Chains A and B, each alone.
Chain A
Amino acid sequence: MTATTIVEDVVDQPLGVYTRPRGGNGWRDWITTVDHKKIGILYGVAALFFFVVGGIEALLIRLQLATPNGTVLGADMYNQVFTMHGVTMIFLAAMPLSAAFANYLIPLQIGARDVAFPRLNALSFWIFLAGGIVLNLSWILGGAPDGGWFGYAPNTGIVFSPSPGMDFYALGLQITGVASLMSSINLTVTILNMRAPGMTLFRMPVFTWMMLVTQLLLVFAMPVIAVALFLLAFSRLFGARFFDPSVGGDALLWQHLFWIFGHPEVYILILPSFGIISEVIPTFSRKPIFGYPFMVFSGIAIGFMGWGVWAHHMFVSGIGPVSVAAFSLSTMFIAVPTGVKILNWMATMWGGRIKFSAPMLFAVGVVSMFTIGGLSGVTHAISPADTQQTDTYYIVAHFHYVIFGGIIFGLFAGLYFWWPKVFGHMLSDGVGKVNFWVMLVGFNLTFGPMHVLGLQGMARRIDSYSPGFGFELWNMVSTVGAFLIALSIAIFVVNVVLSAMKARGQAPCGPDPWDARSLEWLTPNPTPVHNFDEVPVVESLDEFWHRKYGTDEDGRVVRVASAEEVCEDGSAVGVHLPSPSFWPIVFASGLPFIALGLIFNLWLTVPGGLLVVMAIYAWIFEPVDDPDAAHGDHDDHGGDEAAADTIEEAPVV
C-alpha cells in the first residue's frame, strides 16, 4: 500500500486531524511507525550515529593526551569533550543500540506480533532522540556539560560550572531517562504477557531472559537518577540548597543517588550483550547453550546483587571503614555469577564443531576481553588496593575493557548475526573478519597500556600530563590504537555499504542462513511486517532448532526438515496490525522546547508544554484503527488471548 496523500485521507474519514495515518514506505511511514521492527532500526541508526560522535570525542581526547602538555584542547574544552564522550557513549550509543536489538528481537523471539504498547514504543524512541538532540545542542548554545558523565556535586553547581552545560546534562538525561523507563515497562509487560502458546519462561531464549532482567533493572534504577538530576537541576536553576556545603549540603548525597543508579546501569549495559553472545555462541558451536538454567539464574542473580555494590565507586569518598568493608565484600561476591556465565560459554564451545564466522569472532572477543576487564574489576574490589587505583588510568582501563570489550564487541556480534534477518542480505563475512581483527588489535593497543599508566600513577580526568613521569610511550601507543579502532569502524561502514550495493537487484537471502536455534529465524528474511504467518506453538527450548533436528534410534542428532520446509514464506495477508500514529513524535518534539525554556527563557516552555498536552489528548482520543484496515484471519491468534487483546481492542496507550 503506497502512502496516500493527506487530503485523500481526510476526505475518506471525517475525523479530520485525528485521522490515523495509513501504512506506507516513505518518510512519513518512518515518522509515524509503531512497528517494533522499524523502531528497532531507528534506534540502531541513531545509536550508530551517536557512536561515531562519541568516537570522534574519544579521538580528540587521545590526540590531546598523545604527548605531554598537549595543546589540541584547552582544559575547559577537554572537560567538555571527555564529559560528552562518556555521556554520548553510555546514554546515546550503547543503551540505544541494545534497545535496537531488544525492540527488534523480543517480539520475534517470544512469538508475538509486536510489543504490548506499540505507540508508547514509538514515543520512547522519539523522546530518546529529543534527549540526544538537547544534549548536543549544548555545544552551540553556551558550552557542553563539563562535570564528567558522573556529574559530581558541588563541582557541577553554578559556582564551579557556570556555563549552561550542566543544565543541558540534567535536562537532557532526564529526557532520555523517561524514554528508557517507558520502554522498560513496555518490554516487561510484553515479555510477561505476550509469549506464544507453550512458551513458558524457561523456554525463552537466553537473549530474551537477559533482556527481561535488563528491563527490570531499568524500571527500578531510572527513578533514582531522575531524582538526582532533579536535585541538580533545581539547585542550578532555582537555587535549591541540596549541594551547597556552606549550609550543610552534602556532596555524598549526589554520589549515593548517582551510583545507586550507576551500578545497576552497568549491568543494564552488559546484560543485552551477554544475551546476544548466548545466542551466537551456541549457533556457531552447533551445540545448545551449556547450563541453560545456570545462565538464566546467574542473570537474575546479577540483577539482584547489582543493587548491593554501588559504594565501591565511593571507596575514597569518606564513607568510613565499615561501609567500605561491607561494599568491598559484596563487590567480590558479584564476580561469581558472571564467572558462571564465562564458564558456561566456554563449555558451550568445548566439543562443538566451531565455525569462526564474523559473529562468532566478536562473541569470542567478548568472552576474552570481558574476562580481562572482570579480572581488573576484582582487583578494584579489594578496597586497600583500590585506594591506589582509583582516579587513575587503571580504572579507565578496567571499564573500557568491560564496556568496549564486553558491550561493543557483543553488539557487533549481534549486528553481523542478525543483519540478514533485518535487511534480507548478509554482511560480507570476509570484510567482517578484517573488521574484527583490526578492532581487536586497536582496542587492546588503546586500553591495554592504560593498566600500566594507571599503576604508574597517571591520574584520570586530567587534560594533560607533564613530561618526565614516563607516561609518554604508552600514551602514544594508546592514541595509535584509538585510530585503529576508528579504522575498524570505517571498515564496518564500508561493509554495510558494499553489502547493500551487492544485494541490490538480487533476491533476498534465503531463510535461516546460520542454521540457528530460536524463533525469529522462523520468518523469512527480511522479516515481513506481520512477523509470523501463524502464531507458533512452542514445545521446547530452542523450538526452531527442534523443528529442524530430531534424534534417531541411536540418539544421534539428525536433520528431519530443511529450512525451506520449516520456515514460513511470509505470505499471510490481511493480518491485523496496530495502526501508525503522529502523536509520539509530536509529544517528543515539545520536550526540547521545555528544556531550552527552563535553561534560557521560561516562555519557551509554553509551546513545548502545549505540544505535549495536545499530543496526550489527541493520543487518547484517536480512533484505534483506520476503519478500512484489513481484518485478518481470526485463526492467526493461535489462542493467544493477550495478542488478540493488544491488536483488536482499543489500547489505552
Chain B
Amino acid sequence: MSHNKLAMWVFLGSECLLFGALISTYLVYRGRFASGPAPGDIFDIPFTSVSSFVLLMSSLTMVLALSAIKRGDLRNNRLWLLTTALLGSLFIGGQVYEFTTFFREGLGYTTSPFSSAFFTLTGFHGVHVSLGIIMLMSMFISSLRGSLRKEHSETVEIIGLYWHFVDIVWIFIFTVIYLVPSPTS
C-alpha cells in the first residue's frame, strides 16, 4: 500500500491523542472561570452552528475535488479545492469574530483556566485548519501551473484526509464544548 497514505493515517491516529488531551484539559477546566465569564454565559450557539455547518460542507467540497482529479477533470478539481479553502477561511473568519467578541465581553486568554483551555483548544484546531488552507491553496496554485495532474491524485487524497480529520475534530468539539450545556456564573 502507499507509504504516504499509511503515514497520514498513522499521523491521524496520533492526532487523536493530541486533541484528546486538549479536550480533556478543557473539560476539567470548563467550570473554573474565576471571576470572568462562564461558558454558559458567553457561547453564541446559533452563530457557532452556522460556522460548524460551513466547515462540515467543506468536507463535501473536498471530496468532490478528489473525485474530480481522479477522473482527470482538472478544472473542477481546482474549483472544488478553491471552494474548500474558501469555506475553511469562512470558518476561520467566524472563529476570529467569535474570539474578538468574547474578548470584548471580558474573556481573555489569561482570564481563567476555562478561558485558557478554551482558547488553546479552539486555537490549536484553528491552526490546523489554517495549515490545511495553506496546503489547499498550494495545490490550487500547483494546479494552475499544470503541476497537479491526474497521476497526482494521491496528494489531493492525503491532504483531504487531513482536512476531513480536522472537520471530525470540530464535530467533536461543537457537540462536547458548545451543545452540551455549560456551567453558568
Asked if residues B10 and A242 are in contact (CB atoms below 8 Å), the reply is: no
Q: Digit string of B111-125 for contact with A (CB within 8 Å is 1, else 0)? A: 111011100100000
Q: Are A227 and B155 in contact (CB under 8 A)?
A: no
Q: From B1, B18, B28, give the contact of A223 (CB < 8 A).
A: B18
Q: For residue B22, which residues in chain A have a CB less than 8 angstroms away from its CB?
A: 227
A155–B22 alpha-carbon span in the complex (Å) = 21
Tell me the chain A residues, 131-190 only, with Cβ under 8 Å from chain B: 181, 185-186, 188-189
Return A122 CB to nearest CB of chain B, in Å.
16
Give a binary string over A242-274; 1 marks a CB under 8 Å from any B CB, 0 the rest.
101001111001000100100000000000000
| B residues less than 8 Å from A642 (CB atoms) | 3
- The minimal Cβ–Cβ distance linking B183 to chain A, given in whole angstroms, is 12
- In-complex Cβ contact of A193 among B1, B15, B116 (8 A): B1
User: In chain B, residues 8-40, which have Cβ atoms closer than 8 Å to a Cβ of chain A?
Assistant: 10-11, 13-15, 17-18, 21-22, 25, 28-29, 32, 34
- Nearest CB of A to B28, in Å: 6
Q: For A242, what are the chain B residues with a Cβ–Cβ distance below 8 Å? A: 25, 29, 113, 116-117
Given contacts A223-B15, A231-B25, A242-B117, contact A116 B7 (CB under 8 A): yes
**Inter-chain contact B7/A227, CB cutoff 8 Å:** no
A464 to B28 CA separation, bound complex (whole angstroms): 38
Q: Give A11 to B9 CA distance when docked, in angstroms.
A: 41
Minimal beta-carbon separation of B112 from chain A (angstroms):
5
Please report the total number of B residues contacting A with Cβ < 8 Å. 31
Contact of A240 among B11, B18, B110 (CB under 8 A): B110
How many Å lie between the Cα of A117 and that of B21 in the bound state? Answer: 28
> Which of A193, A239, A257, A645 is the one whose CB lies under 8 Å from B109?
A239
Contact of B116 among A189, A241, A652 (CB under 8 A): A241
A-B contacts counted at CB < 8 A amount to 101
Count of A interface residues, CB-CB < 8 Å: 41
Any chain A CB within 8 A of the CB of B96? Answer: no
Give the secondary structure class of A's interface: helix
Q: Which of A387-402 contact B (CB under 8 A)?
A: none
**CA gap between A645 and B6 in the complex, in Å:** 14
Does A646 sit at the interface, judged by CB under 8 A?
Answer: yes
User: Which of A193, A228, A238, A651 lies in contact with B6, CB distance below 8 A?
Assistant: A193
B1 touches A249 (CB 8 A): no
Least CB distance, A276 to chain B, in whole angstroms: 24
Interface: B4 (CB within 8 A) = yes
Q: Which of A170-227 contact B (CB under 8 A)?
A: 181, 185-186, 188-189, 192-193, 219-224, 226-227
A560 at the interface (CB under 8 A from B): no
Contact indicator A223/B14 (Cβ below 8 Å): yes
A529 at the B interface (CB under 8 A): no
B13 touches A220 (CB 8 A): yes
Q: Given contacts A116-B3, A248-B113, A645-B3, are A240 and B17 in contact (CB under 8 A)?
A: no
Q: Can you show 15 pairs from A to B with CB atoms below 8 A apart?
A: A185-B14, A192-B6, A193-B1, A193-B3, A219-B10, A220-B13, A220-B14, A223-B18, A227-B22, A231-B120, A239-B110, A242-B25, A248-B29, A249-B32, A250-B28
